[in-house]
Amino acid sequence: MRISTKMNAAINAQIGMELASSNQYLNTAAYFAGRALRKLAEFFFKQSDEEREHALRLIRYLNDMDGTVEIPAIGAARSSFDSAEEAIQLAYDSEVKITASINALMEQAIEERDFATQEMLRWFVNEQVEEVSTMDDMLKIARQVGERNIIMVEAYLVHEEV
């Protein structure tokens, strides 16, 4: 194994977090699909795929480093929401949490002078800037239009092609 046991465990925990996020976005997409808000559903299905890709990226890295992949137990994702804003708020909060977790991994990699892991994590650091920003925009739009006019978010998504 070319990374520390501690780093290996922390990356496995991160894989769990990315997969939990992928599952949550599937539920969130289904929630929007159930409300016939197709663009919002499409947006979250796409986000779910991206989260799975993030998990795969970490799995491939552990394989490359001769580490051990141990996917942790993943809790149930939330499936019902009182409003679109609540569903999007959950996504925003989750991205903020994932960012903090990536930053903690980076701190650990720096502490361990693990340059390969630092290099691998740099991609995630940049990706999180984009992901938090995207969810922040979505949340701002949802708040501005309000639940009664949430259909307008669909038009926003067609226009922005996010």
Which residue, 66 or 93, has its beta carbon nearer to ligand FEO? 93
Which residue from 21, 23, 28, 48 is in contact with ligand FEO, where contact means CB under 6 A? 21
Closest contact distance (angstroms) between CB of 50 and ligand FEO is 7
Interacting positions 97-126 with ligand FEO (CB under 6 A): 98
Interacting positions 35-54 with ligand FEO (CB under 6 A): 51, 54
Residue partners of 65: CB distance under 8 A and separation at least 6: 1, 2, 3, 8, 116
Which residue from 18, 85, 114, 154 is in contact with ligand FEO, where contact means CB under 6 A? 18
Residue partners of 85: CB distance under 8 A and separation at least 6: 139, 142, 143, 147
Closest contact distance (angstroms) between CB of 149 and ligand FEO is 27
Which residue from 19, 41, 95, 117 is in contact with ligand FEO, where contact means CB under 6 A? 95
Which residue, 21 or 23, has its beta carbon nearer to ligand FEO? 21
Interacting positions 131-150 with ligand FEO (CB under 6 A): 131
Closest contact distance (angstroms) between CB of 103 and ligand FEO is 12
Closest residue to ligand FEO, based on beta-carbon distance: 54
Query: What is the C-alpha separation between 6 and 62, in angstroms, rounded?
Result: 13
Closest contact distance (angstroms) between CB of 53 and ligand FEO is 8
Listed residue (25, 30, 16, 72) closest to 49, CA to CA: 25
Per-position b or e across 36-57, b if 16+ CB within 10 A of its CB: ebebbbebbbebbeebbebbee
Residue 136 main-chain phi, psi, to 5 deg? -65, -45
Integer angstrom CA distances of residue 3 from 44, 56, 60, 63, 112: 34, 18, 14, 11, 9
Which residues lie near ligand FEO (CB under 6 A)? 18, 21, 51, 54, 95, 98, 131
